[in-house]
Amino acid sequence: MSRQQNKLLELAEEEEKIASLIQKCPNMRVVHQIHAHILTHPHLPPSTFSFTLSKILCFVAYRNVPYAKKLLSQIPNPTIFSYNTLIRGLLSKNPCQEPIFLFKKLLHEKFPKSNTFTLAFLLKSCSILAALKEGQQIHRHVIASGFGSNLFVQTSLLNFYMKCEEVALGRKVFDEITEKNVVAWSAIIGGYSRVGMVNEAFRLFRDMQRAKVEPDGMTMASVISACTVSGALDLGKWLHAYIDKKAIKNDLEVSTALVNMYAKCGCIEKAKEIFEAMPVKDAKAWSSMIVGFAIHGHAEEALETFSRMEEDKIEPNNVTLIGVLLACAHGGLASEGRKYWSCMLESGIEPSIEHYGCMVDLLCRANLIEEAYGFVESMPIDPNPAIWRTLLVSCKKNKMLGKGEIVAERLLKLEPLNAENYILLSSLYASSSDWVKMSHVRKQMRERGIKAIPGCSSIEINGFVHEFVMGDWSHPEAKEIKEIIRDIEVRVHGTGHEPWIAAVLRYVGDEEKRDALYEHSERLAIAYGLLKTKAPEVIIIVKNLRVCADCHEVTKIISRLYNREIIVRDRIRFHKFVDGACSCRDFW
């Protein structure tokens, strides 16, 4: 063996020892010592120096990102591997634009060609940030670099588009993948789940089965999430049974998805059963259960669960605290809500806009409008439209015309084209019998071409989700549904209930207003449920808007007259109607 070969062998052995030493480091203090030793011994060959710093970078990238960035700057001629390591380290922390900035710097400096890992990591960064524009630029770079047919990059692209809810673009990428693996199937199903396309998500799941690709936990969590969004309980139950039958690993993610699905499909007791059986619970699992209790109006159980979470030393996340404040709001527990808010601030947690929104909602539900308004005025961040809308709803409910007009003015400055804002303002004037101003608002809507979002309700029958839109009679069984609606109208009228026609903001007579109320989407869905199911099967409805007061009252009456349990999930919470009463105790 030549002298040069011996030297190379010695260097390789030394590098192997260094790598082993770094890998076995018990803590960052030892790493700092090795790093200092390397920097103060310049006799090391350049290749060994770079190699050692790269190994230290691998060790610290997930532990201390600022330190990792400093290390990268000390490596002479760093490889793309070192840049990939830092990008992955950045991705492991809070979402930020740094990976994208780093890539732009590499392009500007004409750095040697990036590899598939670089592009996949960058696309993951864009998907986390929902950075559509930047992700599409990287997509163009993928094509220019010749990696367009690489499966790893393709699945990253697919996941990016689906996380950004660009379903058509994601589907195009999916269709171009020649050998679709379980990752690709999971991504496409998850994307359709996020946008509420449960029938398409389930159809894809069937296609996946036909393609002989075995689903994993991630796939099942995605399909279960589709059921959660649409309230498809029967499909969710079937998927739960499928997981058991196929012995798919019921890991933390799948169990949490099941808890979330059952809670948001109306089966809070089943959600609790699965939650209690989980051997390990992370913050996401605890939060799902707390939010589940909150939206069902089980405030005491939500707060008790939060106490157990604290006892288990699990750090609450943003969703946990939103669930706690929601529970206080829906339970009318204003003083408790204030207490949790104070504890949150004292613990150093910086409230998000969602937390502020929950607090405003809590105060408004307790009819503490002046306090809620003062709270909004004192917020350190700008209130969003949802917060102003919450105040406006409360002003309408309490017929506070002057305060409501001030709130509406602030709201319309932020969202001048949102139909819901004009509808709320119209309702405010209607509640105060100010028909002239109400007419002026409706005129503004017509002149600006602003149309109200129609109420839409869905019900799952035999594994298929049927959607109903207010006043839309295009359903194939419309004739039969109309007969049920007429029967409901006659029987409800027989109880002495008078329709609350003041809630109908149309320039029509009282009779037409009564008809309009019976064409609300949830009534069409309930009628279809009565047509297609028999007691004791529960009728479960999912609505895109808040349930109106008249529909709420009529549904209570229907539950008693037809001896049926009816669960309605509206945009705000769950309503469980049994024998003429609602679980919300008329507080929603």
Q: Which residues contact residue 410 at a Cβ distance below 8 angstroms, ignoring those fewer than 6 apart?
A: 383, 388
Domain membership flag for residue 62: no
- The tokens for 380 are 């350190």
Secondary structure of 471-516 in HEC code, one letter for each residue: CCCCCCCHHHHHHHHHHHHHHHHCCCCCCCHHHCCCCCCHHHHHHH
> What is the reported pLDDT for 11?
47
- Does residue 542 lie in a domain region? yes
Tokens representing residue 159 in the block? 């996941």
Domain count, the chain: 1
Strand partners, 542: 458, 569
| Tokens read off for 370 | 């002046």
Q: Would residue 151 count as lying in a domain?
A: no
Residue 467 in any domain: the answer is yes
Model pLDDT, residue 43: 64
SS (HEC) of 346-359: HCCCCCCHHHHHHH
Q: Are 430 and 438 in contact (CB under 8 A)?
A: yes
pLDDT score recorded for residue 478: 95
Q: How many CB atoms lie within 10 A of CB 320?
A: 23
Number of residues that make up the chain = 588
Rounded to whole angstroms, how far apart are CA atoms 74 and 439? 70
Pairing between β-strand 566-569 and β-strand 539-543 as defined by DSSP bridges: parallel
What does the pLDDT read at residue 21?
Answer: 64
Answer whether residue 22 is part of any domain: no
SS3 label, residue 185: helix
- Owning domain of residue 525: 456-582
Which DSSP state fits 503? G
How far is it, in rounded angstroms, from Cα 47 to Cα 77?
10
DSSP three-state, residue 285? helix
| Region class of 586: left (phi > 0), else alpha (psi between -120 and 50), else beta | left
**574-578 vs 566-569, strand pairing mode:** antiparallel
Alpha helices in 398-477 (DSSP H): 401-414, 419-431, 435-448
In a domain, residue 518? The reply is yes
- Confirm whether 420 is domain-assigned: no
The answer to whether the Cα torsion of 479, 483, 488, 494 is positive or negative is positive
Nearest to 314 by CA among 291, 287, 295: 287
User: Is 298 a member of any domain?
Assistant: no
Write the CA distances from 274 to 81, 240, 279, integer angstroms: 43, 11, 10
Rounded Cα gap, residues 216 and 257, in angstroms: 14
Digitized pLDDT (tens) for each residue of the chain, 588 residues in all: 555 545 545 545 555 666 666 666 666 777 777 777 777 766 666 666 777 777 777 777 777 888 788 877 888 878 788 888 888 877 776 667 788 887 877 777 666 567 888 888 889 888 888 889 989 999 998 998 888 899 999 999 999 999 999 999 999 999 999 999 999 999 999 898 888 787 888 899 999 999 999 999 989 998 998 888 888 888 899 999 999 988 888 789 999 999 999 999 989 999 999 999 999 999 999 999 999 999 998 999 999 999 999 999 999 988 999 999 999 998 889 999 999 999 989 888 889 999 999 999 999 999 999 999 999 999 999 999 999 999 999 998 888 999 999 999 999 999 999 999 999 998 899 878 888 898 899 899 999 999 888 889 999 998 888 999 988 899 999 999 999 999 999 999 999 998 877 656 554 556 777 778 888 999 999 999 999 999 999 999 999 988 888 999 999 999 999 999 999 999 888 899 999 999 888 877
Helix (H) or strand (E) holding 577: strand 574-578
Q: At 123, which helix (H) or strand (E)?
A: helix 116-129
22 touches 56 (CB < 8 A) = yes
Helix and strand numbers (H, E) in the chain are 30, 6
